[in-house]
Amino acid sequence: MLLLLLFYQSVPRPKSSKPPKRPIMEPEFREELQQTRIQEYQMRTVMKDLTIYFIYVALIVIISYGNRDPNAYLEKEALQQAVVHGALNCGQKIQEYLLRN
């Protein structure tokens, strides 16, 4: 297989003397095509940005509204009552105990 590949690369190929024929476009038509291409590129960029933005917003909504516990407020209030207000009561009890002795 390797020999075949080497042989194929070493065979000289005929070169064409004529340049390839390319159709010549009118300058106005070419300018319209360029403007259309630029607009399509800009629109593609805007669509990518919007898609990424909507995915970002969807993730934020899922994170913020997903897995919400209905008892979270009650737990927070119970902890706040026990720690913040309970600490004040505890401090008063310690002062009373120290004053007695």
pLDDT 10s digits, 59-92: 888 877 766 777 878 887 877 777 766 655 655 6
Q: What is the pLDDT of residue 87?
A: 58
Q: Which domain holds residue 37?
A: 27-68
| Domain count along the chain | 1
Q: Which two tokens stand for residue 42?
A: 């800009």
pLDDT of 5-57, one tens digit each? 555 666 566 666 676 677 777 888 989 999 999 999 999 999 999 999 999 99
Q: For residue 66, which amino acid is it?
A: G
Q: What is the pLDDT of residue 48?
A: 95
Residue 91 covered by a domain: no
Sequence-distant (6+) residues with CB within 8 A of 75 are 69
Residue 35 covered by a domain: yes
Residue 93 covered by a domain: no
Residue 95 covered by a domain: no
Residue 78 covered by a domain: no
